[in-house]
Amino acid sequence: MSFVSHVECTVCGARHDGKRLLTVCEQCGQMLAVRYDLARVNAAVTKEALAQRPHGMYRFRELTPLDDGEEPVTLGEGGTPLLALPRLAAHLGMRRLWAKDEGQNPTGSFKARGLGMAITRSRTLGARGFAIPSAGNAGGAAAAYAARCGLPCAVVVPRGTPAAAVAEALIAGAHVFTIEGSIATAGKVVGQVAPQLGWFDLSTLKEPYRLEGKKTIGLELAAELGWRMPDVLLYPTGGGTGLVGIPKAYEELRAMGWLSGPLPRVFAVQAEGCAPVVRAFAEGAETTTAWEDPTTHAAGLRVPSPFAGRQMLRVLRDTRGGAVAVSEDAIRDAQRLVARVEGIWTAPESAALVAALTVLRDRGDVARDAEVMLVFTGIGFKYEPPPLAPPIALAGSDEEILAQVRRAVGA
């Protein structure tokens, strides 16, 4: 028995049976979310018992959709470090800055959580193959977890997707296809092909299980901060799984009485070249509209028409947060800054958060004494590095080499 009570449509509220393999709402076609019997969860587990369990995504198993005894398809995802960033905070003139370093997940990004959970759950419920449109990391993670359980996987990515993510999917034995356009074009292909193959469509938030994996970031953050929430949370926003998932974790814990007070103010961060959530938020719209000609080197942010725009905007409004777009140069500068002052080579998507924080600070939208959480969603190694000064080529006698080194280091 799991602690799932039912699966609910986030728009029309229609109830679905949690024991069936589900995609979108069968009444209205909108996004589904798993609901739990939180009173039963509360009776079954304590904070103290939880603290004794092994680290990882299934630590708080009662708040995942897994059945009793269900073996997860796992590569050790979750349990990533929560890092204080005192030097970056000092540099930015902020009081308290944290990063959840999701780049330390298997496959180098937080996509491991969502796809580990979705592949686990959908396989148990009968899936015999998977198909996914991706901007890079999701395809790599889906391929890895599909390989881990020996099932086939098709990955469709836009041409120009970072090479390491494509290689990651290929080496794991996935069927990898490229297409002209963006993840939206790739999504159309998957939507058409997956049902014909009888493979499960893992598109962002078009099934309810990836959300439950991403949600575990919020469960971990709550425990790691001593069962309290930060003032502000910044999230690099593509399809919005974590943007919807982390507040879902906080709300479930609050309903259980494990957390109290308001949720953090959630800010969506996007790139200026693809900012449908920022635009819709500024217009006070109910949902997003497609962004024409999306361009950004932060591949995970190149999502022109997210399926869950409505649900993301609801989170931003309900938490009195907001949405900010940053430039490509600001992303590259921030990526170098975070590596230089904290030693973290984070992905361009997460570097965008640091660029956005300076904007929010300057506008007075985020106070300097606020406690701010950054979700560092991926590792930098998987992308083309930002422009860097080249290494210095040494040559000559011992004395000449010493002189060259001295000149370079200024000592």
Answer yes or no whether residue 104 interacts with ligand PLP by CB under 6 A: no
Considering only 2, 64, 237, 311, the residue that binds ligand PLP (CB under 6 A) is: 237
The gap between the terminal CA atoms of the chain, to the nearest Å, is: 66
Nearer to ligand PLP, 122 or 137 (CB): 137
Answer yes or no whether residue 241 interacts with ligand PLP by CB under 6 A: yes
* Structure tokens belonging to residue 241: 């799984």
Residue position matching structure tokens 């449109």? 133
Return the range that interacts with ligand PLP (CB under 6 A); candidates 93-101, 121-129, 238-246, 332-340: 238-246
Q: Which amino acid is at 214?
A: K
376 with 99: CB under 8 angstroms?
yes
* Exposed e or buried b per residue across 236-266, where buried means at least 16 C-beta atoms within 10 angstroms of its C-beta: bbbbbbbbbbbbbbbebbbeeebbeeebbbb
Considering only 74, 109, 216, 270, the residue that binds ligand PLP (CB under 6 A) is: 109
Report how far residue 110's alpha carbon sits from residue 115's, in angstroms, rounded to the nearest whole number. 9
Nearer to ligand PLP, 23 or 346 (CB): 346
CB of 300 to ligand PLP, least distance (A): 3
Answer yes or no whether residue 236 interacts with ligand PLP by CB under 6 A: yes
Helix H or strand E segment including 363: helix 348-363
Nearer to ligand PLP, 123 or 210 (CB): 210
Answer yes or no whether residue 377 interacts with ligand PLP by CB under 6 A: yes
Answer yes or no whether residue 218 interacts with ligand PLP by CB under 6 A: no
Which residues from 311-370 bind ligand PLP, rule CB under 6 A?
A: 347, 349
CB of 232 to ligand PLP, least distance (A): 18
Task: For strands 175-179 and 96-101, give the pairing.
Answer: unpaired
Nearer to ligand PLP, 59 or 111 (CB): 111
Report how far residue 227's alpha carbon sits from residue 254's, in angstroms, rounded to the nearest whole number. 10
* Structure tokens belonging to residue 340: 């230089």
357 with 92: CB under 8 angstroms?
yes
Considering only 65, 247, 300, 321, the residue that binds ligand PLP (CB under 6 A) is: 300
* Structure tokens belonging to residue 28: 């209205």
**DSSP-derived 3-state class of residue 71:** coil
Binding-site ranges for ligand PLP (CB under 6 A): 109, 111, 137-138, 204, 236-243, 300, 347, 349, 377-378
